[in-house]
Amino acid sequence: MSDNPPQKQPLRIGVILFPGFQALDAFGPLDVINVLSRTEPITLSLLSSTLTPISTASPDIPSTTGQSILPTHTYATAPPLDVLLVPGGRGSRGSSGPVTEAITFIRTVYPSLKYLITVCTGSGLVARAGVLDGRRATTNKMAFREMRDLRPAVEWVARARWVVDGNVWTSSGVSAGIDVTLAWIGEVWGEEKARGIADWIEYSRHEDKDVDPFAELYGL
């Protein structure tokens, strides 16, 4: 953040939403960002193909419950961003309009970002955008083999709670999004800030990115 002027500009964060996103993939990091924004200047955009409310329910899974969230911008009206956060979920698969438009947006916006953060199979969207080719990255552990086959040009890391390669932070499944967001905050604002937020939300963090009990659980 050394390129910021003394009068700090807000950090401009965007989060991608698509039908069938995993609620906690997005709302773990978002809750952390909401707490962060009580003391740090942040702007947040919730981005999707349209301004229609986006449901966590995926058309192809017989879950009976879901929640609908209001986007603030479409990809066409997205403001300039410093950070993009990409959640995963059942709906990150396939080639529906919302998925292909998310991938196109990620590919287009990545060169102007300071940081790109993924949770769970959100790394699959970013991989399909070509951003992870030749990079180290991780993903949901139950879906690890699926992600590896989706984009073999990525150096997929099986045993990691999260992986940092350059300005790309990829995390493991669902709740790992909380850990990677706190770790990223530690990098940008300092570890004391990250610890304060973790304590505030009474969250027992994974603090070591290389400790991953779920890799073993899923035989990786």
Give the residues lining the site for a copy of itself (CB under 8 A).
Answer: 10, 13, 22-24, 27-28, 30-31, 33-35, 37-38, 41-44, 46, 53, 56-57, 61-70, 140-142, 172-176, 178, 199-204, 206, 213-214, 217
In whole angstroms, how close is the CB of 30 to a copy of itself at the nearest point? 6
Which residue, 66 or 130, is less far from a copy of itself as judged by CB?
A: 66
Q: Alpha-carbon distance 219 to 57, whole Å?
A: 28
Give the residue with the Cβ less far from a copy of itself, 42 or 100.
42
Which long-range contacts link 179-185 to residues 24+ away (Cβ below 8 Å)?
179/205, 179/206, 179/207, 179/209, 180/29, 180/117, 180/119, 181/28, 181/29, 181/32, 181/33, 181/85, 181/117, 182/32, 183/207, 183/209, 184/115, 184/117, 185/32, 185/36
Place of tokens 């493991």: 172
Q: Which CB, 20 or 103, lies closer to a copy of itself?
A: 20
- Shortest Å distance, C-beta 2 to a copy of itself: 22
Q: Which of residues 90 and 151 has its CB atom nearest to a copy of itself in the complex? A: 90
In terms of CB distance, is 38 or 166 closer to a copy of itself?
38
Q: What's 160's DSSP letter?
A: -
Question: Which residue of the set 11, 113, 120, 185 is catalytic?
Answer: 120
Minimum Å distance from CB 114 to a copy of itself?
A: 17
- Residue 107 CB, nearest approach to a copy of itself (Å): 25
- Minimal distance in Å, beta carbon 211 to a copy of itself? 10
Distance between CA atoms of residues 168 and 151, nearest Å: 16
Residue 120 among the catalytic residues? yes
* Amino acid at position 91, single letter: G
CA–CA dist 20, 192 (Å, integer): 35
Tell me the β-bridge partners of 42: 11
Give the residue carrying structure tokens 């058309």: 59
Residues with catalytic roles: 120
